[in-house]
Chains A and B, each alone.
Chain A
Amino acid sequence: DVKVTQSSRYLVKRTGEKVFLECVQDMDHENMFWYRQDPGLGLRLIYFSYDVKMKEKGDIPEGYSVSREKKERFSLILESASTNQTSMYLCASRPQGPGANVLTFGAGSRLTVL
């Protein structure tokens, strides 16, 4: 069964801490994405990556950075966590190519910043 695995399901951090959210996919997908999900706002795109070492800003990149050193791994970094970054974070991947639109999601990482 193909998978997108987010290593941490629940995290509690303090304001100002550096936070790493890790995502690994075993489908050899080129494209990977980070969304955050908030009640009433749906899913909003933070960053995405078309390939190793490549990254593109999404709609809400402020306060976040990403790292894609290996094809299977896409990390989301909060350099200095703030309370307004308390949210559910969803990682997704898909293959490259025409017709490749469907994203496969991980189970999510729920982050609470105190």
Chain B
Amino acid sequence: GESVGLHLPTLSVQEGDNSIINCAYSNSASDYFIWYKQESGKGPQFIIDIRSNMDKRQGQRVTVLLNKTVKHLSLQIAATQPGDSAVYFCAENKQAGTALIFGKGTTLSVSS
């Protein structure tokens, strides 16, 4: 079946740097994408989402970019902090009302 994948399983950055986490998706029919953050011992938590009719959306310190031409999604975290250390998952929704399909996750490690 189709799946959402991440380019790198791990990413290590220094505190204060900007982080970019990438995700490639295969289903061109997907109309909605979400980024989740999972801290150790917790369930995934919603960070930010974007619809397929947009190419950029900004939140607090986070920006999601969507490139439908190459089916690529990225999460940018500005001024990364130790509290940003977690596993980040991208997820896609092929159509409204269906279950989300998740990628394999990228572990972000922030050193101070």
* Contact of B42 with A41 in the complex, beta carbons under 8 Å: no
Tier of interface size on chain A: 20 to 34
Classify the secondary structure of B's interface with A: loop
Query: Considering the complex, which residues of chain B in the window 1-59 have a beta carbon less than 8 Å from any beta carbon of chain A?
Result: 1, 9, 32, 34, 36, 41-46, 49
Q: A101-B49, A107-B42 are in contact. Are A33 and B32 (CB under 8 A)?
A: no
A74 within 8 A of B: no
Looking at the assembled complex, report how far the CB atom of A66 sits from the nearest CB atom of chain B, in whole angstroms: 13
A96 within 8 A of B: yes
A4 within 8 A of B: yes
A58 within 8 A of B: yes
Looking at the assembled complex, report how far the CB atom of B77 sits from the nearest CB atom of chain A, in whole angstroms: 19
Q: A40-B9, A43-B89, A98-B96 are in contact. Are A90 and B43 (CB under 8 A)?
A: yes
Q: A43-B44, A59-B1, A90-B44 are in contact. Are A101 and B105 (CB under 8 A)?
A: no
* Contact of A96 with B41 in the complex, beta carbons under 8 Å: no
* Contact of B97 with A96 in the complex, beta carbons under 8 Å: yes
Looking at the assembled complex, report how far the CB atom of A22 sits from the nearest CB atom of chain B, in whole angstroms: 15
* Contact of A42 with B89 in the complex, beta carbons under 8 Å: yes
Known A42-B102, A101-B93; further 11 A-B contacts with Cβ < 8 A: A33-B99, A40-B104, A42-B89, A44-B102, A90-B43, A98-B96, A101-B32, A101-B34, A106-B43, A107-B41, A107-B43
